Amino acid sequence: MGLHGRTARAVAIGAVVVSAVTACGGGTAGTTGGGGAPSELRLAIGGEPEDGYDPTLGWGRYGSPLFQSTLLARDQDLDVVPDLATDWSVSDDGLVWTVDIRTDAVFTDGEPVTATDVAYTFTTASRSGGLTDVTALREAVAVDEDTVELRLERPQSTFVNRLVSLGIVPEHAHGPDYARDPIGSGPFRLVQWDPGQQLIVERNDDYYGEQPAFERIVFQFTGEDASLAAASAGQVDMVAVPSQLAGTEVPGMRLVAVPSVDNRGIVFPYLPDDGRTTDDGTPIGNDVTSDLAVRQAINVAVDRQALVDGVLEGHGSPATGPVDGLPWGEPAAAVEDADPDRAEQLLEQAGWVDGDGDGVREKAGVRAAFTLLYPADDSLRQGLALAVADMLGPVGIEVDAAGESWDVIDQRLHADAVLFGWGSHDPTEMYNLYSSTRAGVEYWNPGFYADEAVDAHLEAAMAATDEETANREWRAAQYDGAGTGFGPSGDAAWAWLVNLDHTYLVDECLDVGTPQIEPHGHGWPVTAGIAGWQWTC
């Protein structure tokens, strides 16, 4: 096309040309560098962090921290590769990780990155109580200027993910205001952050890695409708859209659908309602979902492909576990195609019958009815909840799909089923969702699921000192081939529904390469490869 896509869209709309070239942020949309290619990108991909840009508090755990380097990284195939580290090794007992770092990395204030900064970062993150879990760390010690030892309290096979996700901060410049004005050694530096409006970043010309093609990037924080309008007006080069809007045609833009492990699933209260509560008085237990036959019947009755086709408009895949398609996933745990007849048979055999002919089964005076909560402002989860309710009605299970605020859900999540979203490149998340040690801890294991055999597999996976052993134990926790496991073929503690495709409208002239399979949508996982993005026309 003769004009850059952004300009062409603005010209096509005519009246919005002025706004397209005088957009907010101190620069102008369409600003060009050498050869006429834009030197600035404008992105509306959501994900503004409430707590700012401090990795020790959790920034970057679901994607590239952008401003900071990480010791290791994952490539497009999710293989672990060096970043700030030049070499790393793990002791035979799994307790000491030794990492050598490059000597040519500098922070954006000109100071060199040293092993002391790495040790400081890990120590601070382990003590901060932030969202990056470094609790296994006993101490981090700088052995010399470019070597650090990370000494653990116990072996942890998933500790490699801390090296992948934890951005390194400078000890000399890490203070109370760091989250708003971060200094790092990553590919970009922060210029301006207007919370709720925009973030402006510029290329770090002293970055040791591949230099990004764009001098400046503006992240716009707008809602779905405003972001789509900005795309139509030629004011942004990339916009994240929900699957329901992915079919929207915008001149000069194409749809990029990125597979993900960003899943949606229903967690069931696993215990019966016998009056117990948490320490703060939150009720625990449900007499319907605590019945194995009910949980298994739901897993069998739900038509996941229909959810993908209908609710996701085809942009996703059926999910029967939290880690579908990852090396530690167990395919044998999966449910085959929906089978409502089998669901009815499971219920009948367990004593759930429709005695009064009202279409809802009963057992010992308890109706097969429960509430399914979802966040009221999430249209996707609403669609899934309503569709699941429609699918379960014909087998005799009555579901009341109710949209509520998170404040309300927080008070009911141990006694009512909840439609959650998870998904990570780190199997630690699976441990947190199913280990009895995590029952009722924040949003981990809200159903209070517990099984001794599953716990044993999860602990063995965490403590393994080699990846093969760890993955074997992760898979066994899902299903061991003999009826035991947390998956739908075993205890069916959840009914996982779908894995989302993350859908973006992208300027026809912007090449974003081959994105990684993305994790849950917090942050900006799509920017993991942003240093390689190119303008092509």
CATH code for the part of the protein at 1-48+195-252: 3.40.190
Q: What is the pLDDT of residue 32?
A: 52
CATH code for the part of the protein at 57-190: 3.40.190.10
Q: How far apart are the C-alpha atoms of 185 and 464, rounded to whole Å?
A: 32
Rg (CA), the chain: 25
Q: What are the phi and psi torsion angles at 392 (to 5°)?
A: -85, -20
Our CA angle for 329, 243, 422, nearest 5°, is: 35
Q: How far apart are the C-alpha atoms of 20 and 7, rounded to whole Å?
A: 8
Structure tokens at 152: 């653990």
Our CA angle for 120, 59, 413, nearest 5°, is: 120
Asked if 1-48+195-252 and 57-190 have one fold, the answer is yes
Q: What are the phi and psi torsion angles at 39 (to 5°)?
A: -95, 0
Q: How far apart are the C-alpha atoms of 209 and 185, rounded to whole Å?
A: 10
Residue among 387, 474, 476, 492 at smallest CA distance from 424:
474
> Reduced to 3 DSSP states, what percent helix, strand and coil does the chain have, rounded to the nearest 5?
30, 25, 45
What burial class does residue 175 get, using C-beta atoms within 10 Å of its C-beta: 0-12 exposed, 13-18 middle, 19+ buried? exposed
- In sequence order, what E strands does 268-396 have? 316-318, 362-363, 366-367, 369-375
Architecture (CATH level 2) of domain 262-499: Roll (3.10)
What burial class does residue 356 get, using C-beta atoms within 10 Å of its C-beta: 0-12 exposed, 13-18 middle, 19+ buried? exposed
Residue among 162, 133, 157 at smallest CA distance from 462:
157
Residues 450 and 437: beta-carbon distance below 8 Å: no
Structure tokens at 139: 């101490």
List per-residue pLDDT tens for the chain, 537 residues long.
Answer: 334 444 444 433 332 222 232 233 333 344 554 455 679 999 999 888 888 999 999 898 877 899 999 999 998 888 899 999 999 999 999 999 999 999 999 999 999 999 999 999 999 999 987 667 898 999 999 999 999 999 999 999 999 999 999 999 999 999 999 999 999 999 999 999 999 999 999 999 999 999 999 999 999 998 888 999 999 999 999 999 988 889 999 999 999 999 999 999 999 999 999 999 999 999 999 999 999 999 999 999 999 999 999 999 999 999 989 999 899 999 999 988 999 999 999 999 999 999 899 999 999 999 999 999 999 999 999 999 999 999 999 999 999 999 999 999 999 999 999 999 999 999 999 999 999 999 999 999 999 999 999 999 999 999 999 999 999 999 999 999 888 999 998 999 999 999 999 999 999 999 999 988 899 877 788 888 898 999 998
Q: How far apart are the C-alpha atoms of 383 and 458, rounded to whole Å?
A: 33
Q: How far apart are the C-alpha atoms of 259 and 325, rounded to whole Å?
A: 11
Structure tokens at 74: 């994952």
If you ran DSSP here, which 8-state letter would residue 69 be given?
A: -
Q: How far apart are the C-alpha atoms of 195 and 180, rounded to whole Å?
A: 10
Residue among 470, 490, 488 at smallest CA distance from 480:
490
Structure tokens at 449: 């699921």
Cβ partners under 8 Å of residue 146, min gap 6: 100, 101, 102, 103, 114, 115
Residue 425 vs residues 80, 257, 533: alpha-carbon distances, Å: 11, 18, 22
Residue among 357, 419, 409 at smallest CA distance from 388:
419
Q: How far apart are the C-alpha atoms of 8 and 252, rounded to whole Å?
A: 7
Residue 424 vs residues 93, 270, 449: alpha-carbon distances, Å: 26, 24, 20
Our CA angle for 164, 167, 171, nearest 5°, is: 140
Q: How far apart are the C-alpha atoms of 24 and 45, rounded to whole Å?
A: 16
Show me where the domains of the chain are located.
Answer: 1-48+195-252, 57-190, 262-499
